[in-house]
Amino acid sequence: MIQTLRENPQDAEIDSHKLLVRAGIVKKLAGGLYTYLPLGTRSLKKVERIVREEMDRAGALEIVMPILQPAELWKQSGRWESMGPGMFRVTDRGEHEYSLAPTAEETVTEVVRNIVSSYRQLPVTVYQIHWKFRDEIRPRFGLMRSKEFLMKDAYSFDVTMEAADRSYMAMFEAYKRIFARCGLKAYPVEADTGDIGGKFSHEFHVLAEAGEDGIAFCETCGYAANLEKAERKSANRNDAPCPPYEEIPTPGARTISEVAKFMGVDGSAFVKSLVYNADGTCVMVCVPGDRDVNEVKLKHFLGAKKLELADGESVFKAAGANAGSVGPVNPADASLRIVCDLELKGAKGCIVGANKDGYHLKHVDLARDCRIAEGDWADLVIVRDGDICAKCGKPMVIKRGIEVGHVFKLGTKYTDAFKALYKTSDLKESTMVMGCYGIGVSRTVQAVVEQSHDKDGIIWPAAVAPYQVCICLLDPGVTEVAEIAGRLEAELEAMGIDVIVDDRAERPGVKFKDADLIGFPVRAVVGAKGLANGGVEIKRRDQDKSQMQMCAPSEAAAAIARMLGEAMP
């Protein structure tokens, strides 16, 4: 059941996906669905074991909840609707509807509320390591974004917000240990907390070019936040005064680059104006022409529950023109609220839409010509490379990351919906405070490969390698050689080291190539020629040939154990 391939699979875009398939770790069944072959299953189980040990160490209790979740639970939280098409739904023969678990906040809250009734039973954190299902718009990158994946999901229940912070920190620390033990360098990164606020949502990211998420990093002070959340300090502009604004026809030019081209100027003088619908009320948002609105920040700033771009009709009603000609100077609706990115404070000589189709205004001084309230200037854009760190004032860099875990303080969102109450010491009823904590166990396996490989194949960290040692037996037909390999295998196993013997009737070159491709941390070569020349040849996968060691067969096991110890993360 070990099948290595010389060719890359056609649908694989990133190295780790190519290598997992080529090394026979996983096999694709259909889009977003994979079989973990024997090698892959071993690595998956090893990651799982590390996760389990650290959850247990942090005091969490393992449970297993049904994957089939009754629709009623989702209806109670309101997520039967809001999860949308991303959730797989099935119906039984009695016409009862269920979801295939994409996550389990509803289920766990229903379970815990029926068991816990007193403050004496709190705090409690439960977890499971179980399959999750999501109908991803674009399943891709192998195990990174699949339709079915293994997740560790934990949920904490506490008496107060402060107590919940302690449960959160226990999980945060456990996550650091888990990823370090997997041989991964994973960074905790501040993420948006939704309605909760505060600093209690972190994603754990493995940095990689192939990562789907952007992260702002400040190498000076250590600030790290995902792009949804990342804040910047922006210097107000202080442009030279400009003459009164003037209308200019810009027929047919709809985008900023089209208008810029038409006017023969670059994009920096433009102000991008968009009309949003925030809980049913239109708001105009202005940002520098070369920037994008950060809708998460905007939503928080407006204190909106629901935020989306306004439809065409509403835009026309609010501004007096269609999107593309909208601007902050005299919109049709004189009471339209205009909020503006801080960088534009002091901006003069701007080009904005004229609120008249096919026209723009130039020489606009935002403070002079627009009605923007003093409190409506804020940081509203997505940060980019070189932006100034809000914490320390030094430039930030943007890196790509793979989200392997997420810790999140939920507050009482679900415990309110499910009336998960407990009795306090003075016999009053109070609502439990919750946190949820996920790790993509299968995604973590692939993140390890993405972080640790070279042109020849995978370089497994010893703790999660399918086997820690591969004995390449070069002359399986020669009894004496086979015996030495067999002895070495038994000695290593007795030391608790995972070992596989490649005794196939293949050429040495093929065996070496496969050992490198699969990426066993240590390779031991046992062959007639080697034994005649000094013994067993041992080499670490992450070191080159020059660091190969020769040792007597009787000393090989001890030498390998030493090598592995050095290779352990």
Name the site residues for Mg ion (rule: CB under 5 A).
406
**Closest by CA position to 69, among listed 95, 94, 113, 104:** 104
Residue 186 in tokens:
């994973």
Site for ligand ATP in 397-426 (CB under 6 A): 403-406
How many angstroms from the chain centroid is the CA of residue 221? 22
The amino acid at residue 62 is E
- Nearer of residues 232 and 443 to ligand ATP, judged by Cβ: 443
Question: What is the closest distance, in whole angstroms, from the C-beta atom of residue 75 to Mg ion in the complex?
Answer: 24
Site for ligand ATP in 86-125 (CB under 6 A): 103
Question: What is the closest distance, in whole angstroms, from the C-beta atom of residue 138 to Mg ion in the complex?
Answer: 17
User: 465, 523 in Cβ contact below 8 A?
Assistant: no
Beta strands 350-353 and 429-431 are unpaired
Strand partners, 434: 157, 411
Residue 247 in tokens:
């209308």
- Nearer of residues 81 and 374 to ligand ATP, judged by Cβ: 81
Question: What is the closest distance, in whole angstroms, from the C-beta atom of residue 26 to ligand ATP in the complex?
Answer: 12
Sign of CA dihedral 449, 41, 406, 55: negative
Per-residue contact string for residues 259-298; x = within reach of ligand ATP by CB under 6 A: ----------------------------------------
Residue 145's binding partner among ligand ATP, Mg ion, none (Cβ under 5 to 8 angstroms by kind) is ligand ATP
Question: What is the closest distance, in whole angstroms, from the C-beta atom of residue 136 to ligand ATP in the complex?
Answer: 5
Residue 151's binding partner among ligand ATP, Mg ion, none (Cβ under 5 to 8 angstroms by kind) is ligand ATP
Beta strands 281-288 and 337-341 are parallel
- Nearer of residues 406 and 409 to Mg ion, judged by Cβ: 406
Residue 23 in tokens:
């090394």
Question: What is the closest distance, in whole angstroms, from the C-beta atom of residue 86 to ligand ATP in the complex?
Answer: 9
Residue 387 in tokens:
């932006």
Residue 405's binding partner among Mg ion, ligand ATP, none (Cβ under 5 to 8 angstroms by kind) is ligand ATP
Question: What is the closest distance, in whole angstroms, from the C-beta atom of residue 552 to ligand ATP in the complex?
Answer: 46
- Nearer of residues 149 and 377 to ligand ATP, judged by Cβ: 149
Question: What is the closest distance, in whole angstroms, from the C-beta atom of residue 150 to ligand ATP in the complex?
Answer: 8
**Closest by CA position to 309, among listed 286, 282, 327:** 282
How many angstroms from the chain centroid is the CA of residue 464? 20
Sign of CA dihedral 186, 190, 191, 197: positive
Site for ligand ATP in 425-444 (CB under 6 A): 438, 440, 442-443
* Rounded distance between C-alpha atoms, residue 211 and residue 208, angstroms: 5
> Which residues, 6+ apart, have CB-to-CB distance to 375 below 8 Å?
none
Question: What is the closest distance, in whole angstroms, from the C-beta atom of residue 283 to ligand ATP in the complex?
Answer: 27
Residue 450's binding partner among ligand ATP, Mg ion, none (Cβ under 5 to 8 angstroms by kind) is none
- Nearer of residues 145 and 362 to ligand ATP, judged by Cβ: 145
Report the interhelical angle of 161-181 vs 38-57 (nearest 10°): 140
Residue 103's binding partner among Mg ion, ligand ATP, none (Cβ under 5 to 8 angstroms by kind) is ligand ATP
Q: Which residue has the tokens 């609220």?
A: 337
Total residues interacting with ligand ATP, rule: CB under 6 A? 15
Which residue, judged by CB position, is nearest to Mg ion in the bound state? 406
Site for ligand ATP in 128-167 (CB under 6 A): 134, 136, 145-146, 149, 151
How many angstroms from the chain centroid is the CA of residue 442? 13
> Which residues, 6+ apart, have CB-to-CB distance to 569 below 8 Å?
180, 181, 182, 183, 461, 462, 463
Report the interhelical angle of 479-494 vs 553-567 (nearest 10°): 40
Question: What is the closest distance, in whole angstroms, from the C-beta atom of residue 59 to ligand ATP in the complex?
Answer: 21
How many angstroms from the chain centroid is the CA of residue 110? 28
Residue 123's binding partner among Mg ion, ligand ATP, none (Cβ under 5 to 8 angstroms by kind) is none
Residue 537's binding partner among ligand ATP, Mg ion, none (Cβ under 5 to 8 angstroms by kind) is none
Which residue, judged by CB position, is nearest to ligand ATP in the bound state? 440
Binding region for ligand ATP (CB under 6 A): 103, 134, 136, 145-146, 149, 151, 403-406, 438, 440, 442-443
